[in-house]
Amino acid sequence: MADDAILTSIPIQWLSTDEPKLPDHILDWLMEVGSMTCRFEQYCQTVSVAPFRECFITAEELGDESEHLPLNQKYWLRETILYGDNIPWLLGRTVVPEETLTGPDRKLVNVGTVPLGRYLFSSNNLTRDYIQIGQQGERWGRRSLLRLSGKPLLLTEVFLPESPAYKMNKTKGEK
């Protein structure tokens, strides 16, 4: 399953930088450079993750993701649903080249129900090369090429309809 069909048959249409302007409140979420997990925690009591697919895949199974990652024999794939107070808010797909899974970063294959952001953003060795915005039907998403200790991984995130990204509401602590 290529990342342009994350959990649905509707492909993600990746936008160029000169595409039509998005509403500011959605763009703010899409361009978040920090941990999406931390951002979501401002809108709920509990953020949780349910992995539904974790396995190694081959380069042939990547689809257009192969254009963003170095060629490897295998890639670690993790597909999840992130929940805020048990409401599905985000679909996530992480593709990690096998060469990235060395040393302490080998732990990526065992994060289980821990939100990826908690693992990645606890490291001082994380950088982001870019964020690309896309649309999947009525849903907005993004993909980012991240580097952990200089080694690449591709993260695709699609905001589900109940996500606070679509609402201009206040955080849980505001009145």
Instruction: Give the pLDDT score at 153.
Output: 96
HSE, CB side, 13 Å, CA atoms: give it for residue 75.
Answer: 29
Does residue 78 have a known ligand-binding role?
yes
Per-domain boundaries in the chain: 21-166
Select 21-166's CATH number: 3.40.1030.10, 3.30.70.100, 1.10.150.20, 3.40.1410.10.
Answer: 3.40.1410.10
Does residue 157 have a known ligand-binding role?
yes
What are the tokens at 168? 């201009």
Instruction: Give the pLDDT score at 2.
Output: 44
Does residue 61 have a known ligand-binding role?
no
Instruction: Report d(CA 48, CA 80) in Å as an integer.
Output: 10
Instruction: Report d(CA 14, CA 134) in Å as an integer.
Output: 4
Does residue 36 have a known ligand-binding role?
yes
For every one of its 175 residues, what pLDDT tens digit does the chain have, with 9 covering 90 and above? Answer: 344 445 666 889 999 877 667 889 999 999 999 999 999 999 999 999 999 999 999 999 998 899 999 999 999 999 999 999 999 999 999 999 999 999 888 888 988 898 888 888 887 789 999 999 999 999 999 999 999 989 999 999 999 999 999 997 656 555 4
Inter-residue contact 30 to 93 (CB < 8 Å): no
Determine the longest span between alpha carbons in the chain, in angstroms: 52
- State the pTM of this model: 0.89
Instruction: Give the pLDDT score at 125.
Output: 85
Instruction: Report d(CA 10, CA 88) in Å as an integer.
Output: 18
